[in-house]
Amino acid sequence: MKRVVITFLALFLTFPISVAAQVTVLMSTSEGDIEIDLYVNTAPISTGNFLMLADNGDLDGASFYRVVSYENDKGSPLIEVIQGGLGDRASEFNTIAHESTEQTGILHTDGVISMARGAVGTASTEFFIIVGDQPSLDYGGDRNADQQGFAAFGKVINGMDVVRNIQSLPADGPSESDYTEDQILTEAVRIYSVRRIVQ
C-alpha cells in the first residue's frame, strides 16, 4: 500500500514551494502552451505534489490522454474536462492527502486544474483541467458517491484555447472499460515539460 503524505511540515520540508500566493508554471504540449497559476498557500498539499513532479522532471513526457464532454460522458452529472498525467506510471509515486474545495475554497470553474482520484486519498500523478463551470466536482457535489469532490489547486491563465482544442480531438482510442469508451484520445497529446515561470 502506498504511503500517504499527511503532514504539512513534511510537505514544506520536501517541496520547494514559494511563499507567494501562487506559483506560475508553463506546460508545453504538442498542441501548444498552457500557463497555469498554482495556489500554493491555499492548496499546499496538491500544489506541493504537482511542483515536486514538475521540478523533478517527472511530468516531462507525460500526456493528456482522456477528454470528457457532454456528448461522451457516461457519469452523472455530466462534466467537461481533459485529463492528463503519467498514466500507467502513476503506481510508482506516492499518494497524497485529499484537499477538498470546502477546505481550500477553490471551486471547479472554467480553467481550474484539479487532481484526479478514485477513493479519497488516492490522488498522485493524474490531473484534469475543467472546461466550463463544473460544480458537481466540488465538495458536496454528486459526481462522486462520497461527495468529497476533487482537489482543485490552480487555474489556467493563458492557453484555454489549447485546452478546448485538446478536448475536441478525435477520441476513439482503446479503452480499459465501457465507462471511458469514446473518451481516450486517438493520439495522446504529449506534455513536453512543466516549468516554473520566474517572476
Which pLDDT score, from 0 to 100, does residue 198 have? 73
Say which residues have a Cβ less than 8 Å from residue 97's Cβ, sequence separation at least 6. Answer: 4, 5, 6, 45, 121
Q: Distance between CA atoms of 108 and 199, rounded to whole angstroms?
A: 26
Domain ranges of the chain: 4-196
Which pLDDT score, from 0 to 100, does residue 15 have? 43
Which pLDDT score, from 0 to 100, does residue 20 have? 61
The β-bridge relationship of strands 95-96 and 4-5 is: parallel
Q: What does the pLDDT average to over 123-152?
A: 98
pLDDT at 146 over 60: yes
pLDDT at 28 over 70: yes
Percent of the chain past pLDDT 90, that is, above it, reads 85
Which pLDDT score, from 0 to 100, does residue 11 have? 43
Q: What does the pLDDT average to over 98-106?
A: 98
Name the CATH superfamily housing domain 4-196: Cyclophilin-like (2.40.100.10)
Range scoring the smallest mean pLDDT among 17-31, 39-53, 132-146: 17-31
Which pLDDT score, from 0 to 100, does residue 199 have? 61
Q: Distance between CA atoms of 163 and 182, rounded to whole angstroms?
A: 18
